[in-house]
Amino acid sequence: MSAWSERYGPWAIVTGASDGIGKAMATELAARGVSVVLVARRVQLLDELAVTLSEAHGVKALVLEADLSQQAGIDAALSGTRDLDVGLLVASAGFGTSGPFVDSDLDRELTMLAVNCNALLQLVHSSARRFRDRRRGGIVLMSSLVGFQGVPRAAHYAATKAYVQALAEGLRRELSASGVDVLSSAPGPVLSGFGGIANMKITLGAAPSTVARETLDALGHKGTVRPGWLSKVLEGALSTLPRRFRVLVMERVMAGMTSHQPG
């Protein structure tokens, strides 16, 4: 049994595992000897990843097809892991939107809210109760550099990440006496499929593997980690500014990432 399995348990749930940070998290956990429940919509990609991880690292990999924007998908993720000895939840599922909020598609914004906040809330609530009762466990939530201030042209996305950041900070204190580690990971730009989905041009950023490795290394040691050198540089530049000036700086950053959009 690996040190990670001894500390947290033999199984980890990873949402958003079909691509990007979620896939990198699952890969990193498998390399550390933890069996993984892979949760996402694109089941073919999950099946391929499951085979790869099992063959490369000798762990078990269970595939759960679930659309976390729908209650049925959340229920499937919860019921499909109920009988496993799960000790870790890595909530990587999520996506972003960009551009002027008033011109956005409301249905898409509501879907983002459902995935980034509602699904996360239900999965964290269930996992936190399980981990508290067994007196050990770990919860990793994906915040973002944009979650520490308002961000024009990504106003609602930043608001969902502010929710995640605040939840992680509060839960860390609540669960610490129960032996449960809670970590917020707040990367800056990441070179993954996120930019295309969010309609942002991201040309400089961290690799998902870097985010996964630095995040998991911080679990149990920090409350918030900023993986990747760029996120550390940006946070260093922003941290000394009053909040209103951080909003202005992030407005300029986001304007550059969305300059290809009309208007």
Which residues are identified as catalytic? Answer: 157
CB atoms within 10 A of CB 213: 18
Residue 144 to residue 133: CA distance in whole angstroms: 30
- In angstroms and rounded to an integer, the radius of gyration of the C-alpha atoms of the chain is 18
Question: What letter does residue 124 receive in the DSSP assignment?
Answer: H
For residues 196 and 258, the answer to whether their CB atoms sit within 8 Å is no
Sign of the Cα pseudo-torsion (78, 39, 112, 70, in order): negative
In the chain, beta strands by DSSP E: 11-15, 35-40, 61-65, 86-91, 137-142, 180-185, 224-225
For residues 91 and 124, the answer to whether their CB atoms sit within 8 Å is yes
For residues 199 and 105, the answer to whether their CB atoms sit within 8 Å is no
For residues 231 and 186, the answer to whether their CB atoms sit within 8 Å is yes
Residue 33: Cβ-neighbour burial (10 angstroms; 0-12, 13-18, 19+): middle
